[in-house]
Homo-oligomer: A and B are copies of this chain.
């Protein structure tokens, strides 16, 4: 299987979370040498599309508050981070925007990333870069995604050379509403690009597709996602648990 060979890929410079055969998210593992050590007063920025946005109140600019976090994996991850690392007093900001593709992140990157001077930057983007070619008349290709994403990361590293990067794998859960078999294997290319960019930029990589694939052994796909693209509350918890493994 493609996923297995990916997990076995020894030369991977980024960090892949390996999954145990038992309860998936609770046993997500990451090499301890590669985990991020959260410094005091670290600014942790979430960026991405609607999965990250999750209905957050965009009028709220106060870090660490529920309305800014939205109703998805970011709120659950933020709660976990704030509690586990209370002594470090992290400053958590969510700037995900529903519908965004990579070029749209780029359009708002100065104001909503660089200027916020994140110490940790978590990006989850890519499903719209594919999805909107099917449903929204978007003309970008996988190559567009790769080129734009690489440029965004280069720009980020130039402005913030010390930033710790977390790159989430775009995911799609087939058989639930929006996602059907016509997504594959075309969508897999986007997943592969995100993974390769994580390697290229020495980012922690969170393999959300694998997390959802494993979770389907425990409950129906519709338990974890309502439309195949957006996580349910149960699915958001899967994501938050996986995300938390990025930290020491």
Contacts and interface: CB of A to CB of B under 8 A. Distances in A.
B237 A80 contact: yes
A44 interface: no
Contact of A234 (B67, B86, B233): B86
Contacts of A79: 76, 233-234, 236-237, 240
Nearest to A226: B65
25 contacts: A23-B84, A54-B66, A55-B66, A55-B67, A64-B233, A66-B71, A66-B233, A67-B71, A69-B71, A71-B71, A71-B75, A75-B75, A75-B76, A76-B76, A76-B79, A79-B234, A79-B236, A79-B237, A80-B237, A82-B237, A83-B241, A86-B215, A86-B219, A86-B234, A89-B219
Interface string A233-248: 1101110110000000
Contacts of A238: 83
Which of A79, A232, A240, A241 counts the most chain B CB atoms within 10 A? A79
**Interface size bracket, A side:** 35 or more
Interface in A73-105: 75-76, 78-80, 82-84, 86-87, 89
A234 B76 contact: no
Contact of A78 (B54, B65, B233): B233
Nearest to A57: B71
A233 B23 CA distance: 26
A9 to B, nearest CB: 27
A209 to B, nearest CB: 17
A25 B76 contact: no
A168 interface: no
A26 interface: yes
Contacts of A54: 66
A218 interface: yes
B64 A232 contact: yes
A170 interface: no
A72 interface: yes
The 3 closest A-B pairs by CB, nearest first: A66-B71, A82-B234, A79-B237
